[in-house]
Amino acid sequence: MSETRSLRVALLGAGTVGAQVARLLLEHHDELAARAGVPIDLVGIAVRDVSAKRTVDLPAELFTTDAETLIQGADIVVELMGGIEPAKSHILAAIGSGADVVTGNKALLAEHGAEIFAAAAQVGAEVYYEAAVAAAIPIIRPLRDSLAGDHVERILAIVNGSTNYILDRMDRFGDSMEDAQRVALELGYLEADPTLDVEGYDAAQKAAILAGLAFHTSVPAAAVHREGISAITLQDVESAREAGFVIKLLAIAERITDEDGVEGVSARVHPALVRRDHPLATVYGGNNAVFVEAEAAGPLMFYGAGAGGVQTASAVLGDVVSIARRHLAGGVGVGESIAADLAVLPIGAAETRYRISLEVEDRPGVLAELAGILAARGVSVETLQQTTDATDPTADPAAERDGGTASLVIGTHTARDAALAAAVDALSASDAVESVRSVLRIEGA
C-alpha cells in the first residue's frame, strides 16, 4: 500500500459508542493522521434507519443502510452494532474482502471469537477488540503484546460497572439490594431489565474473552461458571465489612490443575470476598479494574471507567490507529494464538477459601458436629465466629446457652469447590442447621 493513500474506515452502527467514534474520526482527523502516519478517512456509516435521531450531529451523506457495499470498499471495518447477527456476517465479510476489523462486541467474541480469529489468520487480517472488555481501560493489548513473553497465572477483574456500583452503595451507604438497584437504574447504570448485569451474563462474556487471551485457548461463554449478585443481602455486606472484606462481583480466569492432575483453565464469575487491603477493594462506583498476576511481571492492575460512549470510543480509536500504523509498516496481522488448547475445567476443580454463614441450633455439641461434617468432606475449619442469638439479640455470644438458634460464620482453609459444595449440602441436611444463609468465596488473598 502506498504511504500517501488514505485508509478508508467503514463504521457499522451509530449508537452511543458508534456516534462518538464517528465524531472523533471527523473532528480529530489531522491529529489522528499525524499519530498514525497516514490519513484515516471515515467513508460511511451503516445503520438500520438513516432518518433516526442521533446523539451526535453527523453529516447526513455518510449514512447508508447498505452495509455490504460499504464493507467492500473499506480498509478497516469498525463493528459497533452489537449482538450476534448481522454483526458476525458483516465481520466475516470484511475479513473476506481483505479488511481489518475493530469491534467492541463482547457477546459475539465470547461466542464466536475462535471462528472469527481463525478466518482472520487465514488471510493475514487483524481483529482488534480493546473496547470489548473494559471500555477505555487498556487490557487486551497489554495481555496480547506487553505480556506476550510472560506467563499469566491469574486474572481477577471487576468488569461490570453496574454491579460494582450496586455493591459499593450497599457497602459504603448501607443501601439494601433493592434500593441500590433503584438508584443505579435512576442514574443510568442499569437497564430496565437488569438481568444481563445483575445475574453476571455480561461479566461472563468478558471473562471468556480474558481467559482465552491470557491462556491462549478457546473459552466459550457457555463454559464460564456464572453467579450473579441478586442473592447478596445487606447482612452479607455488613458481615463482610466486620471481617475486613468487601464483596465484589469478580470475573476470574486462572490456570489450575484438577484432582486427576489435568491442567486447564478455570473461568468463573461470582460474588467474592476481597480483603480491604487488596487493590480491587478500592474500585468504587461504576469503575472497572483488571488485576493480573504474572510470573515475571508480578501483580499489575489496570483501572478506570468501564463504560460510556466517549470512553469506549477512545479504545476503538486506539485500535484503529494501531491498525493504520501496521498498514503503513507493510506488515500482516499476527492473529490470536490459541495454540495451548487447554480444557476449561468445571467450577468444582477450583480451589479457594470460603465463609459460610449459618443459623444453627444453640445447644452443646453443635460446633463439633458441624466441624465433623466439613472434615468428612475434606474441608477444614480455619475460623469460627458465633455472632448473635436469634432469640435474644442482646445475649453475650460467648456465653454457654441451650435453646433457640445462633448465627455462625465458618471460615475454611483452601478447599476444592466440589468438596465445599458437598459439605454445604450436608450442612443443609443436618438437623442442627436451621439454614445456610450464604456461602461466599474468598479471592485475591
At the second CATH level, the architecture of 350-442 is: 2-Layer Sandwich (3.30)
pLDDT on residue 5: 84
Residue 378 in marked binding region: no
According to CATH, what is the number of the domain 7-136+309-329? 3.40.50.720
CATH 3.30.70.260 residue window(s) in the chain: 350-442
Residue 88 in marked binding region: no
Residues of the chain with pLDDT under 70: 1-4, 331-340, 387-403
Residue 14 in marked binding region: yes
pLDDT on residue 330: 78
Q: How far apart are the first and last CA of the chain?
A: 51
Q: What is the DSSP letter of 6?
A: P
- Report the C-alpha gap between 107 and 121 in whole angstroms: 21
Burial of residue 253 (number of CB atoms within 10 Å: 0-12, 13-18, 19+): buried
Amino acid identity for residue 318 in this structure? G
Tens-place pLDDT, residues 401-420: 556 889 999 999 999 999 99
Most distant CA pair in the chain, distance: 87
Cell of 344: 476449561
Q: Quick check: helix, strand or coil at residue 307?
A: coil
Select from 112, 87, 83, 111 the least CA-distant residue to 101.
87
Compute the C-alpha angle 224/129/77, nearest 5°.
135
Tens-place pLDDT, residues 271-282: 999 999 999 999
206 is a catalytic site residue: yes
Residue 350 in marked binding region: no
CATH 3.30.360.10 residue window(s) in the chain: 144-305
CATH 3.40.50.720 residue window(s) in the chain: 7-136+309-329
Q: How far is CA 184 from CA 16, 67, 179, 238, 391, in A?
A: 19, 36, 9, 20, 36
Residue 18 in marked binding region: yes
Burial 418-427 (b: 16+ CB within 10 A, else e): bbbbbbbebb
pLDDT on residue 391: 44
Q: Which CATH superfamily is domain 144-305 in?
A: Dihydrodipicolinate Reductase; domain 2 (3.30.360.10)
Q: What is the DSSP letter of 28?
A: T
Q: Quick check: helix, strand or coil at residue 210?
A: helix
Residue 188 in marked binding region: no
Distance of CA 356 to the CA centre of its chain: 25
Cell of 124: 493475514
Question: Which of the residues 53, 88, 206, 248 is marked catalytic?
Answer: 206
Q: Are strands 127-128 and 100-103 parallel, antiparallel or unpaired?
A: parallel
Residue 17 in marked binding region: yes
Handedness of CA 191, 193, 196, 197 (dihedral sign): positive
- Report the C-alpha gap between 331 and 340 in whole angstroms: 25
Phi (first) and psi of residue 272, to 5 degrees: -145, 155
pLDDT on residue 185: 94
CB atoms inside a 10 Å sphere around CB 383: 12
- Report the C-alpha gap between 76 and 323 in whole angstroms: 8
Phi (first) and psi of residue 258, to 5 degrees: -80, -175
pLDDT on residue 308: 87
Cell of 143: 495481555
For the whole model, what pTM was predicted? Answer: 0.91
